Each structure stands twice: as structure tokens, then as C-alpha cells.
Amino acid sequence: MSSQANAPAITPDQTPVLNRMFRFQWEKAQDSYVLLYPEGMVKLNGPAGEVLALVDGQRTVADIIQTLQAKFPDAEGIDRDILDFLGDAREQLWITL
Amino acid sequence: MSNSGSPCNGQPSQAPSLSSVPTHGQPLWLLAELTYKCPLQCPYCANPVDFASKTGELTTAEWIDVFTQARELGAAQLGFSGGEPLVRQDLIELIREARNLGYYSNLITSGVGLNERKIADFREAGLDHIQVSFQAADPEVNNLLAGSEKAFKQKLAMAREVKAQGYPMVLNFVTHRHNIDQIDRIIELCVELKADYVELATCQYYGWAYENRNDLLPTRTQLERAERITNEYRDRLAAAGNPIKIIFVTPDYYEERPKGCMNGWGQVFLTVTPDGTALPCHSARMLPIEFPNVREQSIEQIWNRSNGFNHFRGYEWMKEPCASCDEKEKDFGGCRCQAFMMTGDANNTDPVCSKSPHHDLIIQAREEAELPSHKEPVYRNERNSKVFCKG
């Protein structure tokens, strides 16, 4: 993946939206969340799936962080991880903010 | 018809047991070839040359049953293909069922027979993606190859409509010696149409394309020029912040190692033909192997236990130089259809591989591509197909 050095930082007030190219769903046969796109599929790891499950075009980045902090109270630095992942997801064109 | 050869590995023959079946993945990709009917006559069509002899299309209910069973086994992508899938009057019903089952559905169409209303109705029914295939950016070449004068204008209008109605836009250009020199115009057209993905796919030489290879295979010079121009566009577009993704597929005839065809036999792909024959790839019907039919066996039986799908799984079937090759897990010996078409034995190494004793056949095809004289293509239509049926 190329560097994100030039991309603007993601801020808590932004609202991520799934790019219309992708469909997000739980896939029983994969036992994971996936992103489906024309003729392809990305199998998401646990944390990535948890974040994208909350990307609905309504929740802000702050809302997503808050929800996941409440769900995983023992996970340290979860806010940083979420921001990093959203940055990656933006770079992959999975989401726009 | 009997199988092309039994693996002779010096072991006493055994009744197949579950433990001897090589491991394989899930059929993630279901390609539903709904019909062999098509208004176009592309000389590089991947359909079998004797398609006119295959009759008895699956009914709506039979297709829905196939979709349901494959979904249970893990299929996530569903491609509606053909022939021209728009010919099927029940297409919208099939789309709706696919959506209900949770598939990501792809309509792979020439765009001929499509209109604004259908595009909207399909969207409403849950279709995720429409891929419009083009023959060239130049209307004349496009029309010549598709065998239809109106085709290009119609495709262009439909591509615009697909994008306007909110579908992701994937454009597919099949390139060959007659249009590859226009690659810059092809890319510019894709940019103008605001395509999300562009596949610049050089013709694969199966079915009708194999019959017409002499008229389709570009020269190495043509290919290298096209790849260089594509790379330049890619860099320029990325620098300008254009998110368009351009995929350039080289014909394997200019490679020294074969492609890992279909990600391995019976590993990911399941094709069901109009008459219900199940295949590990859409070209496999040409092989002297008996393939199962969804009218006679369940998809689970077909995928996990049929001889057709187990035939080239694993490495036991391989001959030299594949059997002892350290790259066999990467390319699985290449394409079985290509090995069969070119060498007469589907167990042979794909002749694309420079280690193959038949590699000279590929070199010969490259040399033929350098020659100016080329025969007229055989267009894919019912009349020409009947000639192949008679053999």
C-alpha cells in the first residue's frame, strides 16, 4: 500500500460512507464480514469488520470510536487503531469521508 | 466419453476414499451461462464452437435451485452470462432471487437489448453491477467484430446510463491485433465514461477465438507498445487524482510461464452452462471428460465428489515437467484446456511454459502473428456453429 503521508488526517466529526462500489455483509461461509465488489470479495479481519459494520453514513468517526470503546473496554489504544483503519479504508476507496 | 487418462503413479489402483480426495476451496464464484443465444457474432467468443448442438435451457426454477444450493456452499459472486443473458425473459426474476439469497450479482452483457428502463428495473430488483463489454473504441472496428452496425452507439449509450443510475462501472475491452493499437483511444473513452474499473483484456484463445487466433493474436511489438501506453496513462491519471483502475491482461502466448488458471481446477469457480452442465471453468466443456449436470446431481455432489471436478485437483495427475517442478503449486501446470487444444492431452504441461516439450507451438503462433497475411475470421453464429457440430 502506498504511503498516506499526503492524505489529510481523519477527524472525529467526519462521517464515513461506504463507497457505492462495495457491499458490506456478514458471510456465513467465511465466518466473517466481507466487502463485495464487481467480481471480487475482500474478507475482513475481526476489527476491520467491527468498524465497517458501524459505517452507515449516519455515525461520525467519534460515534464509531465511542461505540467500540464501550463494546471492547479492555482494548487499549482502540481509537488510534480505528483512525488508522479508516485511513487505510479511505485509501483503498472502500469509504469516503 | 472416457477420461483423457488415468493417473499412473506406480501405485496399485484403489477405490476412491474421502481421504484420497485432494483438498479444495469453496465455489465462491458462480458463473451462470443463462443461454447460448446472442445477437452478436464476436469471432473471439468463449462459448463452445458447437453450441448450436446444446439444447434444453434450464428453467427459471432450476436456475433458482442452482443459486440456492451454490450459496449454501459459500458462493458469494454470481455472474449472469451467456451468450447474451438479456435474451432470457426471466432475468429480472433471477436477479431478484440472487439478491434475496445474498449474492453480489454481476450482469455480463454486450449491452445490446438493454435500455434505460431495464437498467432501472434490474437495479430495483437488486442487481449490483453491469459489465458492458466493448470490442474497440473505434466504431468501425467495433461493428466489424461484433457483426452489428448499431452495436457501438448502443453500448456507449448503455454504459452512460449504467453509470448515471448509480452502478459501479466496469468496462471490459477485449483487445486483439485489430484494436490494440488504439489503446490510447480506448483508455480515453473509459475516462470520458467515468469508469471505475477498466479491464483491457487481451483475447484468450479458446472456443471461437482459438479458431480465429491467426486473425486475433497481436505481435509482441503491438503488445509492448500497448502496455507502455497503458502504464503512462495509469501514472498520469493517478497523478491527477483520478481513481480509475486500469487492469491490463497480457495474452499468455507471450509469457514463459503459464497462468495459474482459474486459481486451480475446482478451487474457486463453478460454471453452469445453459443446459445445466457444471464445469470448473467456462472453457472446460471442450475436454474429453464427463462433466456432471445440475439436473442429475446436487451442487454439493458436483463440487465435492464428481469425477469432473476432482479430475485435476491436487498434483497426482501431473506429468513431467510439471510433476517435479518447484513452481507447480503456483501455476498448477497452467491451463488444461490449452494443453488439450494444443497438444491433444489435457494432462500435459500447458505449452505456454518454456519447460514444456510443446513450447514450440506457442513460438510458432508468435511467429505467425508477425506475418501480414491473415485469413478472414469465422464469426460466431448459429450457421457456423452447425459446421462445427458436424465435425
- Probe site for chain B from A2, A17, A18, A21 (most B CB atoms < 10 A): A21
- Amino acid sitting at position B1: M
pLDDT for the residue numbered B6: 28
- pLDDT at B23 (0 to 100): 72
Average pLDDT over residues A1-19: 78
Query: Containing H/E element for B246?
Result: strand B245-249
Q: Are strands B29-33 and A95-96 parallel, antiparallel or unpaired?
A: unpaired
Give the pLDDT confidence score for residue B333 in this predicted structure: 94
CB B151 within 8 A of CB B143: yes
Determine the pLDDT at residue B45.
76
Distance separating alpha carbons of residues B139 and B330, to the nearest angstrom? 40
Which among A39, A43, A91, A92 is the top mutation candidate for probing chain B, defined by the most B β-carbons within 10 Å of its own β-carbon? A39
- This model of the complex carries an ipTM of 0.86
- Tell me the shortest Cα–Cα distance from B77 to chain A, in angstroms: 6
Report d(CA B218, CA B199) in Å as an integer. 17
Confidence band (pLDDT; 50, 70, 90) for A87?
A: very high
Q: Average pLDDT, whole number, for chain A?
A: 90
Share the mean pLDDT of chain B. Answer: 86
Q: How far apart are CA A49 and CA A33, in angstroms?
A: 5
Interchain contact A34–B (C-beta under 8 A)? yes
User: Looking at B56-60, B145-149, B332-336, which range is the least confident one?
Assistant: B145-149
DSSP character string of B326-355: TTHHHHTTS-HHHHHHHHS-TTSPPTTSTT
Round to whole Å and give the CA distance between B252 and B235.
Answer: 24
**How far is the CA of B284 from the CAs of A50, B38, B273, B280, B308, in angstroms?**
40, 20, 11, 7, 10
Residue with cell 471490459: B172
Higher per-residue confidence, B331 vs B208: B331
Mean pLDDT over residues B34-59, rounded?
84
What pLDDT does residue A14 have?
Answer: 96
Strand partners, B191: none
Residues of chain B contacting residue A30, judged by C-beta atoms under 8 Å apart: 74, 76
pLDDT band at residue B49 using 50, 70 and 90 as cut-offs: confident
Query: What confidence category does residue B137 fall into, taking pLDDT thresholds of 50, 70 and 90?
Result: low
Nearest chain B residue (CA) to A30: B74
Name the grid cell of B17. 476414499
Nearest chain B Cα to A21, which residue? B168
Q: What is the pLDDT of residues A49-78, one digit of tens each?
A: 999 999 999 999 999 999 999 999 998 889
Q: Residue B149 CB: number of other CB atoms within 10 A? A: 12
pLDDT confidence bin for B1, thresholds 50/70/90: very low
Higher per-residue confidence, B330 vs B20: B330
- Cβ of A39 under 8 Å from any chain B Cβ? yes
Residues B183, B230 contacting (CB under 8 angstroms): yes
From A10, A28, A30, select the one nearest A79 (Cα to Cα): A10
